[in-house]
Amino acid sequence: MGLKTPEIGEEGYEEAKEFVNKICLGKEVKLDVDDREQHDRYYRILAVVYVNNTNLNEKLLREGYAEIMYIPPSEFNPYEWKADYPSIFGTFRGIIKRFYDMIVHRVFTPSCPGTGGHSEFIVFYRPDGTELANATWNGYSKGDYHWIEFDEPFKLKKNVNYTYEIRTGSYPKYIHNHTLKTSGEEITCIEFVDANG
């Protein structure tokens, strides 16, 4: 739930399997099934796995055996498991390359626990530098404040480098890696400008 682990035959599969076996075999395992979405499209149970009160999903992520694959709606936010993140608002500029085509309707900003972290504005640029799409945050009063919704959906094409700029508001949660590779994309940070200078 919230993670992508290597499939059979993929690099890292045997190591991840051995890690899970070492933690789980012969022990009582408890599942905290997602209240918002109980099954995925393959009818697999979506849950956080606990072994001796330890969150196995978080452990897999922190130990490098899994990547975040957050698909809302979900009561669980895997970004909270990754690490402790400082929360400085400012402007991010970077490049996103999708591994398959994706239609974008909206963008989600995870927030630090107990805060109203969000993004204020986002814009995507084509490889030639022309603007592809932009959207502005609607505030706390309109729906789920974590989302910025675009007026018109647009497509990010497979293996194309798009530049983006995100201006964040209060207490967003960051991943402080120069490059983040997930099952669907590679995101590279070019620059971060702290709002305080």
Question: Is pLDDT larger for residue 20 or for residue 6?
Answer: 20
pLDDT at residue 168, rounded to an integer: 87
Q: Reply yes or no on whether the pLDDT at 86 is more than 60.
A: no
Residues carrying CATH 2.60.120.820, the chain: 90-194
Q: Reply yes or no on whether the pLDDT at 3 is more than 80.
A: yes
Strand intervals (E) in the chain:
3-4, 29-33, 47-51, 54-55, 67-68, 90-98, 102-108, 119-125, 131-136, 147-156, 161-168, 179-181, 185-194
Position 43 confidence tier, pLDDT thresholds 50, 70, 90: confident
Distance CA 132, CA 155 (A): 9
Q: Give the global pTM.
A: 0.58
Residues carrying CATH 2.40.50.90, the chain: 3-82
Contacting residues for 28 by C-beta, under 8 A, at least 6 apart: 51, 52
With tokens 């590279």, the residue in question is: 188
Architecture (CATH level 2) of domain 90-194? Sandwich (2.60)
Architecture (CATH level 2) of domain 3-82? Beta Barrel (2.40)
Contact 49, 29 (CB under 8 A): yes
